[in-house]
Amino acid sequence: LVETVPRGICEAMCPARELRDREAQNRLHRFEMLAGTEKSRRPRGDPLRAVKEYSRPAAGKDSTNPSDLRPPAVLLKTVCYLIDDIAASLIASKIYGFVFDRVRAVKQDMIIQRLSGLDCVAILERTVRFFIYSSYHLCGEPLQLYDPCINDTHLQENLSWLFECYATETEPHPNQEEFQALGLLYNLGSTQATQHIMGLPERLRSTPAVKLALSINRAFLERNPVRLLRLAQGLNFLQCCALHRHLLTCRRDLLLIFSHGHSSRNCRFPLDRLAQLLSLDTALTAQLCQDYGVKVNQESQVVFSKAAFTEPEQGKLYCKLYHNIVAEKQRDLTVGSIIHGCA
């Protein structure tokens, strides 16, 4: 028997039946309410702003009804709406929750229809950028508002699907260099990510973004934090967002190596030079040294000692404090331009 794959015919971002049900059950998000009805006992849904929500597959529930599924062009339009009209007002954690859920529903529609092709790639590319940007922008937010582990799981799934599309489709994909580099920077040190890159055609491996990502990955594997942080200066903003979760480990390694290499009663290391190597200002460098038990004297000199180096208590070190290498690169980039890839 030939299995027929359902094809969506819903031309709205939210199927009419779902909108009616959620209206009746008072389950509309504030972004979906018809202007002027927000404060009424039962707000009405705006068909132009309501977006299909994610629902878990359940026994006896038909998720393949074509009138509840959106075709590829509508799914892409939905993702663009979420980026331009919702996420563009900066991804505050409450906005993230809404966009995350609706993007998950888009992916669900894509899976049911077994989508592939250019629209599928365009959706996945924007989704991956959204998750990478969120991993940086919402770093340190309370767990009930943003869970980095859940964000990571969905990012990895979408990245894996995107790479599959690149590998199996014959159409040219102009953004492939960007995403191959982002995947490696995000998964720095991963054997699987490194093997994936080494299996790419030479023309891709030799592109500037992938070559730089490979050099940074090599510095990470060789535990050469000075080289890694120097190479990171050449990354663009989104690449820095992908790398950012490894920066604290990298800086910790630098302090540990220097605590062993410069451990001497008479050795003094200039704080401003250490700040340069760490890509931090002197105040944050002094703070980081303090967190790791490294002494900074009154003459702004660092006194390294392998006996004094200690790991900070779990939860004491805030990654967000040390974001400057990434923040400096954002400048006047808008969320929309970052996620659409116009940055």
CATH of the domain at 321: 1.10.10
pLDDT score of 63: 81
Q: What percentage of the chain has pLDDT greater than the value 90?
A: 79
Q: Please, which pLDDT band fits residue 243 given cuts at 50, 70 and 90? A: very high
pLDDT score of 59: 55
pLDDT score of 214: 98
> Do the domain assignments include residue 308?
yes
The neighbouring-strand residues paired with 295 are 303
pLDDT in tens, 17-44: 999 999 999 999 999 999 999 888 899 9
pLDDT score of 94: 76
> Do the domain assignments include residue 314?
yes
pLDDT in tens, 46-80: 999 999 999 987 655 778 899 999 999 999 999 99
Q: Please, which pLDDT band fits residue 1 given cuts at 50, 70 and 90? A: low
* Region of residue 325 (left: phi > 0; alpha: psi -120 to 50; beta: else): alpha
> Do the domain assignments include residue 5?
no
- Across the chain, the runs of DSSP E, i.e. the strands, are 269-270, 295-296, 301-303
Checking if the pLDDT of 2 tops 60, the result is no
d(CA 137, CA 140) in angstroms, rounded, equals 9
Measured CA angle at 239 (ends 104, 185), to 5 deg: 85
Distance of CA 56 to CAs 31, 48, 105, Å?
22, 24, 10
pLDDT in tens, 256-269: 999 999 988 889 99
pLDDT in tens, 294-340: 999 999 999 999 999 999 987 777 888 888 889 889 888 888 999 99
> Do the domain assignments include residue 120?
no
> Do the domain assignments include residue 334?
no
> Do the domain assignments include residue 229?
no
pLDDT in tens, 210-233: 999 999 999 999 999 999 999 999
pLDDT in tens, 274-285: 999 999 999 999
Burial label for 110, CB within 10 Å (0-12, 13-18, 19+), is buried
| DSSP string over 197-265 | HHTS-HHHHTSHHHHHHHHHHHHHHTT-HHHHHHHHTT--HHHHHHHGGGHHHHHHHHHHHHHHHT--T
CB 297 within 8 A of CB 303: yes
Measured CA angle at 238 (ends 237, 239), to 5 deg: 90
pLDDT score of 62: 76
d(CA 20, CA 31) in angstroms, rounded, equals 16
pLDDT in tens, 183-198: 999 999 999 999 999 9
pLDDT score of 58: 66
pLDDT score of 90: 56
CB 105 within 8 A of CB 125: no
Checking if the pLDDT of 91 tops 70, the result is no
Number of domains observed in the structure of the chain: 1
pLDDT score of 266: 87
User: Mean of the pLDDT values across residues 154-173?
Assistant: 94
> Do the domain assignments include residue 320?
yes
> Do the domain assignments include residue 198?
no
Checking if the pLDDT of 16 tops 60, the result is yes
Look up the domain containing 270 and give its range: 246-328
Distance of CA 27 to CAs 13, 41, 44, 192, 262, Å?
16, 12, 10, 42, 61
d(CA 247, CA 232) in angstroms, rounded, equals 10
Burial label for 38, CB within 10 Å (0-12, 13-18, 19+), is exposed
Instruction: Tell me which of 87 and 228 has the higher pLDDT.
Output: 228
